[in-house]
Amino acid sequence: MSRPSQYDSQRLQVLAALRNGERLTPRDAISRWGCYRLGARVWELRHGICDGVCWNIMSKIDPSQHFSIYWLGDPAVLVPGGIGLTTTST
């Protein structure tokens, strides 16, 4: 059995935080988990890379800070295939 990669661990930590109702920014991910590629971990979760489940992770760009904020949308879990993934820009 292979050992989970650093990316697997980061992906699971990001998912746990989102499932707890947290809103995450890249700064949060760096300070909490040493994750410099939050957008990549979110992409993997949206597309079912870790467990075949596509998570409905919403995002919004904060225009004053120039970074994205991520949170778990509703419904929380989507069927495999990514139907209905949403991004907001307002």
User: What DSSP character marks residue 80?
Assistant: T
Rounded alpha-carbon distances, angstroms, from residue 89 to 7, 50, 69, 77, 82: 27, 26, 11, 21, 19
Query: 55 with 16: CB under 8 angstroms?
Result: no
Q: What pLDDT score does 13 carry?
A: 95
> How does pLDDT run across 3-33, given as a tens digit for each residue?
568 888 999 999 999 999 999 999 999 999 9
Q: What pLDDT score does 84 carry?
A: 45
- Whole-angstrom distance, CA of residue 72 vs CA of residue 21: 7
Closest CA to 11 of 47, 46, 48, 50: 50
Spans of all domains in the chain: 6-78
**Could you tell me how many helices (H) and strands (E) the chain has, helices first?**
3, 2
